Chain A
Amino acid sequence: MTRINVTVDGVTYEEDVEPRLLLVHLLRDRLGRTGTPIGCDTSNCGACTVMLEGRSVKSCSVLAVQVDGQDIVTVEGLASGGTDWHPMQRAFHEEHALQCGYCTPGMIMAAIDLLKDDPDPSDEAIRKGLEGNLCRCTGYTNIVRAVRRGAHSMSQDPEAAAAGARSAEEL
């Protein structure tokens, strides 16, 4: 067992973990963050995408021991004050950018990540930015629309947009 400290959605945890424990299993099985699903388990589908130190990663392809001392935000940490949806969550809701919803947490995290580099992306840039995230309901058209709407909202409301990046102290 290896002892790790990790901050997830603003809360710091100390956990003893086996080195082989995957980050996604730490999040789901130990910390109860079941908002992050396991899709393909082969780093193809992106359903398990979370922010690690502010950038998107696939949590099925990271060991829990590798994130010792680092900061993670899951889809459950996006809503400010735990109640008001992040503008990107709202945009996915308003544009009906989901059918079964399984890919949605990863899509939202990847979308927020892509806006960090390109706050006003073209449809092509959105499709390219989400290339690591698969939707098997084939709902990509509405997903692209939602990311565009989310980008617009975030440019209008930077404070809400920053919620996902809040650290433990702020929350």
Chain B
Amino acid sequence: MIPASFDYVRPASLEEAVAALDGAGEEAKVLSGGQSLLPLLRMRLSYPSVLVDVGRLEELRGIRDEGGHLAIGAAATHDEVVRSPLVNAECPLVALATATVADPAVRHRGTFGGSLAHADPAGDLPAVAVALDMEFVIRSSSGERIVAARDFFVDYLETALAPGEIITEIRVPKLGDGWGFHYEKFHRTAQAWATVGVAAAVRVSTQGGRHIEEARVGLTNMGSTPVRATEVEAAVRGAELNGQAGTNGSGGGGSVNGHPRSQEGAAPGNGNGAGSAPHGGPGPRGALRQASELAAEGTSPPTDLHGGPGYRRHLARVLTYRALGTAARSALGG
């Protein structure tokens, strides 16, 4: 379909962009790569009066190492993020999740800041933003402010951004050594939105037996905003990974007891018990499994063609188990 009419400006600087937004009122929209916005316009779900195109502003591009965090320019494309040696070295979870966004052609155009500003809870990046405690640097004519990810996502497609405001960069804290990461996404077809996704970061200690010291878990599409699975994070702390006392017959070796996916063989609907009673005994597999059982606590997952809340809660538990296991293995160098 053809979008409704709008005006278009392409400012030459961030300052001009902020001024343009300021003068344009509430119906103005920031256009960057357009990969979320243009489909909305074409389907006539949005009627902006003017698009302020910031897609070419060098000030909003680039990825910088700021010591304690990486500063990702809001208009850096997904493709640039995925290829960035800095992101891969310092914040691998961001690269892992971004590589699953849509498809290559969309990643060439779509931008990191644009995807986050769109705030679709089914998008892959919001869950990573809350899991890693990213911060949003936001500019307007009245100055600059910084908003934490947990305060940024307000509701379905709604953020803390006020009219006239624009994200300039996103700060991603570096987590340091000993962490492993994984983004586990369940979707119906290759480039479809996540039915449910789980972003996991796990810090493993090898002092006194391998165990999880700290975990961050973010959930995609389990509510109107991205969700931080704090109950899982608390429950998984201290979980042993290769204790000799594994009572559930899982082989040990240097890995986290093999691959969770193959152990569990649990595609949804195989009658394996939709996350009813906690699986496994007190062994390591049981510890991750039991923590993962809490993944859907306090969530309000949506209903759509691909599943209802019960199915999504089941997915959250299964995918959290997979994500934690894979992240822990990667922390151990596996």
Contact = CB atoms under 8 A, between A and B. Distances in A.
Interface of A: 2, 18-20, 22, 25, 41-44, 46, 49, 52, 55-58, 60-63, 65-66, 68, 110, 113-114, 128-129, 131-133
B103 A61 contact: no
A19 B191 contact: no
Contacts of B51: 19, 63
A20 B47 CA distance: 11
B108 A55 contact: yes
Given A66-B53, A66-B55, A61 B109 contact: yes
Most buried by B among A46, A52, A58: A58
B105 A110 contact: yes
B6 interface: yes
B103 A132 contact: yes
A61 B106 contact: yes
B310 interface: no
A57 B53 CA distance: 18
Contacts of A52: 108-109
A18 B4 CA distance: 11
A25 B3 CA distance: 12
Interface string B26-62: 0000010011001101110000000101010000000
A41 B5 CA distance: 18
Contacts, number: 86
Given A2-B8, A63-B34, A66-B34, A43 B106 contact: yes
- For the complex of A and B, the 7 pairs showing the least CB-CB separation, nearest first, are A132-B103, A19-B8, A131-B190, A56-B105, A20-B3, A55-B108, A61-B38
B17 to A, nearest CB: 15
B6 A19 contact: yes
Contacts of A58: 105-106, 109
Interface string B100-114: 001111101100000
B162 interface: no
Given A61-B35, A62-B109, A132-B103, 8 more contacts: A19-B6, A22-B38, A42-B42, A52-B108, A57-B105, A61-B106, A66-B31, A113-B104
Nearest to A54: B108
Nearest to A106: B105
Nearest to B4: A20
A110 B6 contact: no
Interface in B86-110: 102-106, 108-109
A128 B109 CA distance: 18
A136 B19 CA distance: 47
18 contacts: A18-B5, A20-B6, A22-B38, A43-B38, A46-B103, A56-B108, A60-B42, A61-B34, A61-B39, A62-B109, A66-B31, A113-B104, A113-B105, A131-B103, A131-B104, A131-B190, A132-B190, A133-B103
Contacts of A114: 104
Interface in B1-20: 1-8, 10
A41 B39 CA distance: 9
B293 interface: no
B1 A57 contact: no
B7 A19 contact: yes
A132 B106 contact: yes
B79 interface: yes
Contact of A43 (B6, B10, B35, B55): B35
Contact of B102 (A25, A65, A132): A132
B35 A65 contact: no
Contacts of A132: 102-106, 190-191
B114 to A, nearest CB: 12
